[in-house]
Structure 1
Amino acid sequence: MRDEILVPGVELLESMRSVGYSFESAVADIIDNSIAAGAKRIQVLADSVKASYIAFLDDGAGMSPEEARHALKLAGTSGSERDSKDLGRFGLGLKTASLSQCRRLTVVSVQDGSLTALQWDLDYVLSTGNWSIRVLDPADLPEIPHADELASLKTGTLVVWQALDYLLAGAPDPSLEVSERLMSLRHHIGLVFQRFMEGRAAIRIEVNGVAVNNVDPFLEGSSKTQIGPREAVVIDGYVVTVEPFTLPHPSALSARERKRQDLGAAMREHQGFYVYRNRRLISHGGWFGLAKLDELTKQARVRVDIPPELDQQWQLDIKKSRVEPPQAFRSRFRQIIEHVTGGSKRLHQFRGRASVRSDAVYLWRAIEERGGYRYTINREHPMISGLEAQLPLEKRKLLDQTLNDLATYFPAPDLYVRMADNQPRIEIDSTQSELRDRLRAIRDAGGSLADPEAILPALRRVEPFNNVVDLQSLVAQVWKENI
């Protein structure tokens, strides 16, 4: 038996481009490297006029000539050699992320007064048939966008994408395409690196000179966010922390919050687990197939922090955009899902009621029958029964038909669409004058309803009187008018 070395053809570089990076995930992979290098300011700089390049400039530790060459090797660093605080895993991110969007990748780095400039050019590699990187001279640097800005730093790294074939993909207006990509990119960066952009050691990330705001998916700063107990689960000696959140009802969100991509019309798609690795968001949204996305559970989100030592068990992919929980977690996750989604459902079912009581009397009733449901108007409500008592028999039939029509043609489909779109429902509170008019109608209905002492306990359970602060005084005033 003998060994035989099979050298892959240069066409492998073209194949590597189809790993499946989105533009946002590719950018995040480059930012990972800047954070790992200790950068405090990271700039994403794009040519939004000619769409000729996208560049990344940081003030991190930079790389020596040897480190720069190592970084441009395929799988330049294995998982076992990486620091536990590193955001990478396979040593492929810089190359695969960049080449998934462009045909020419340039890396320029400064460290200890030494500047190194290297370039992968797919067209050059394919034309020569060799795995050759270009080593740029100082005379080549003026052709590299923002190389002059890097030269003003003591340490730092510049990554430049050019020949943006996959990114633009035949867009009719390349400049407009780049501008639109940058708009959604800001939210993605703010969400993925939120925890690095907070606190004393906050990192500043900019997109074309505009600072990116961190995006808290759990709205922890809101007093109306419900936070469940944090739980620690140990796997192979390593701790995974899990913390559930129930976001405020859409009507309690500010106008600015409702404009957020993950809190507006798409809130339903953003429910589920948010998995972090070394504080960096890896995967968000969805329940790993353990539950379905539901309209009533769209407020439910669960933060999961996993250590890098469990990458393999969680099946972390190259793009750092997908994980799959190990089997040991799945049964516990089902229990967590049931708990946190239950809170979200209650948030919708009892929205706006001061207290939830099984003996409360509401204007509407939900009737379940034959595997479905329908709504009907509660004829036992004092306002309804009082009105019916005052009408002659021939008018009661008209009232009965009107109430049936109101229940039958309740605009449930339209309501569902508006709720799914997170449109805030405008709640109109009854004025004192309107409440008095309603109480007068109940009083004048006569019978058992005419006794204020008898009617008061019932009114406390009835909409809209169940939310009146000083109901007893109001009833006394209205009944005193009759005297």
Structure 2
Amino acid sequence: MSSFYELVPDASNLIESQRSIGYTFETAIADVIDNSISADATRVDINFDSRQKYVSILDNGYGMSKNELLQAMKYGSKSIFDSRDQEDLGRFGLGLKMASFSQCRKLTVISIKEAEFSGATWDLDVVKNQNAWLVQVLDDVEIKSTINFSELAKLNSGTIVIWEKFDKLEQSADFNSNFNEALEKAENHLSLVFHRFLQEDQLHIFFNQREIDFVDPFFVSNKATQPKSSDVLFETTRNARIDVKPYIVPYQKRLSQKERHILKKYEHNTLGSGLYIYRNRRLIAWGKWFRLVRPNELANLAKIQIDIPNTIDDLWEIDVKKAQLNIPTSLKAQLRNIITKSIGESERVYKYRGTKRNKDNLQYVFDRVEKDNKVSYYLNMDNPLIKQLQDNLSDSDIILFRALLRQIEEHLPLDSIQYDMASNKEIEEHENSDDEIYEEIMLLLNNQITEKGKKVLLNSLKYSEVYSKKTALLARIERELNG
């Protein structure tokens, strides 16, 4: 007759093997902060010292009693099948331990709740030596001697997580450099993944007493950003609501200096077009289309914010690190339709780059001609400079001049320009000074024989793409003509 036999996992081997699950320093810290947010914290202080070799993460959340703390220190402290609070950012009950041990060998947690302190330490060297699931429960003296305890003691409730024994970072000869680089990446990561909490003033994160700023991937404060109509999808088997909000972000030349700096700063952590998927407003995955569509370069202005609740984690296959997911098959067709519509909007913005063609009678340097789904660009032969230059040339020179213009039209480096714009490279404009433009206009006017001809030409320059924004300069020249 069959029987059951309990197989207790080998403590040291299991923990050591799970240390390489794929956390980075920044995703590990973010996972700890998830617990702070779930505990209703409004402030998180991340303090660190490369000489003493520690990182502490202090929050002012509701704290834990001794029993609650020991439960939190337990592997799989909460079942994946348990219903979670609507705002809970947890997932498997593994994050605190696995995130911490991916970076260090010693984890200490001290908490205060209802004026009672409790503390415990996991030390992987102890686990290895004893090969047992042994956690050290700290007494009052040990609690008060822990790193940055004095900061926790100022709070009515809260928790501090302390990392020590950074064996992976210490393998390098230059620990200080690697440690500081890891913290810099962590700051950038937290500024992005928690940007909505920071933006809405619901959370403040400090790095060694310096508050970090949020990074908004949609640049909503930029007037050129175009929010599009929201959509709502429903996962019928769970009665779960999924909110979808598309944005068309500005062409790079219309970004502020700060926004351009952000793009450059995050060029290796792409803030490009694609889906931005949030779980309880915490950014999980971003900057890609998840194979839902095959966008061309013109789609690089479309970004789509997707908000999912924590009740459908399993359907989205969110991993323990809360850094990867898969879109449910049942939602792909609906999302594909929304994406296609948004890409169409992005293409229109990209083609015109904010310029309103055929409006206000503006004379453009280039004319855009679309025919049979093909686009061509031609020099505008009504440009005042071109017209006047042709009038002043001999017949043979006119032939050469037109040949030059034809070469410019036929050999515009469109592929190179398109690649540079799609790569978010800043394209520098060449702009003459007002003095140079003044001399240019006066040369044009002086070639007019009559005063009436000069006034007609000057008036036409007001509607030229090149000169239309030089209103003050044109007004000055007009005053001079009227003497």
Q: Distance in 2 between matches of 1:284 and 1:416?
A: 23
Mean CA deviation greater in 403-412 or 185-194: 403-412
Determine which of 282, 285, 291 is the counterpart of 1:280: 282
Mean CA deviation greater in 173-182 or 422-431: 422-431
Q: Name the counterpart of 1:59.
A: 60
> Offset of 1:214 from its aligned partner?
2.1
* Cα deviations by residue, 1:333-380 (Å, 9 ceiling, x for unpaired): 2222222223333223212534356x98644467999x9998664557
- Is this contact kept in 2: 1:62–1:156, CA < 8 A? yes
SS in 1 for 2:316: coil
Q: Distance in 2 between matches of 1:137 and 1:46?
A: 24
> Offset of 1:48 from its aligned partner?
3.0
Structure 1 residue runs of 5 or longer lacking an equivalent are: 445-449
Please tell me the residue identity of whatever aligns with 2:219: L
Q: Name the counterpart of 1:291.
A: 293
> Offset of 1:319 from its aligned partner?
0.9
Matched ranges for 1:157-196 at <5 A: 157-166=159-168, 168=169, 170-196=171-197
Mean CA deviation greater in 102-111 or 347-356: 347-356
Structure-2 change in CA distance of 1:294 and 1:96 (3 Å): farther
> Offset of 1:75 from its aligned partner?
0.9
Matched ranges for 1:77-476 at <5 A: 77-79=78-80, 80-141=82-143, 144-166=146-168, 168=169, 170-199=171-200, 202-236=202-236, 237-261=239-263, 269-292=271-294, 294-351=296-353, 353-356=355-358, 362-364=364-366, 377=379, 383-384=385-386, 386-407=388-409, 410=412, 415=417, 419=421, 420-423=423-426, 425-426=428-429, 428=431, 431=437, 434-435=440-441, 437-438=443-444, 463-464=465-466
Please tell me the residue identity of whatever aligns with 2:426: Q
Please tell me the residue identity of whatever aligns with 1:221: S
Q: TM-score, normalised by structure 2?
A: 0.84
Structure-2 change in CA distance of 1:165 and 1:251 (3 Å): same
Q: Name the counterpart of 1:447.
A: none
- Is this contact kept in 2: 1:436–1:478, CA < 8 A? no
- Is this contact kept in 1: 2:55–2:164, CA < 8 A? yes
> Offset of 1:14 from its aligned partner?
1.0
Q: Please report the RMSD computed on the Cα atoms of aligned residues, expressed in angstroms.
A: 3.9
> Offset of 1:427 from its aligned partner?
6.2
> Offset of 1:87 from its aligned partner?
0.7
> Offset of 1:240 from its aligned partner?
0.9
SS in 2 for 1:301: strand
- Is this contact kept in 1: 2:458–2:478, CA < 8 A? no
- Is this contact kept in 1: 2:462–2:471, CA < 8 A? no
Q: TM-score, normalised by structure 1?
A: 0.84
- Is this contact kept in 2: 1:217–1:262, CA < 8 A? no
SS in 1 for 2:86: coil
Structure-2 change in CA distance of 1:263 and 1:381 (3 Å): farther
Please tell me the residue identity of whatever aligns with 2:35: N
- Is this contact kept in 2: 1:117–1:135, CA < 8 A? yes
Structure-2 change in CA distance of 1:386 and 1:18 (3 Å): same
SS in 2 for 1:240: strand
Structure-2 change in CA distance of 1:475 and 1:62 (3 Å): closer
SS in 2 for 1:116: strand
* Cα deviations by residue, 1:16-72 (Å, 9 ceiling, x for unpaired): 11221121111111011111112222111111335x111111122111111111111
Please tell me the residue identity of whatever aligns with 2:193: V
SS in 2 for 1:127: helix
Mean CA deviation greater in 129-138 or 242-251: 129-138
> Offset of 1:261 from its aligned partner?
4.2
- Is this contact kept in 2: 1:111–1:156, CA < 8 A? yes
* Cα deviations by residue, 1:86-105 (Å, 9 ceiling, x for unpaired): 11121111011111111111
Q: Distance in 2 between matches of 1:18 and 1:366?
A: 55
Fraction of identical pairs, as percent: 32
SS in 2 for 1:197: helix
Q: Distance in 1 between matches of 2:362 and 2:439?
A: 24
Q: Distance in 1 between matches of 2:61 and 2:286?
A: 28
Structure-2 change in CA distance of 1:438 and 1:314 (3 Å): farther
- Is this contact kept in 1: 2:111–2:118, CA < 8 A? yes
- Is this contact kept in 2: 1:268–1:295, CA < 8 A? no
> Offset of 1:245 from its aligned partner?
0.9
- Is this contact kept in 1: 2:222–2:255, CA < 8 A? no
Mean CA deviation greater in 425-434 or 308-317: 425-434
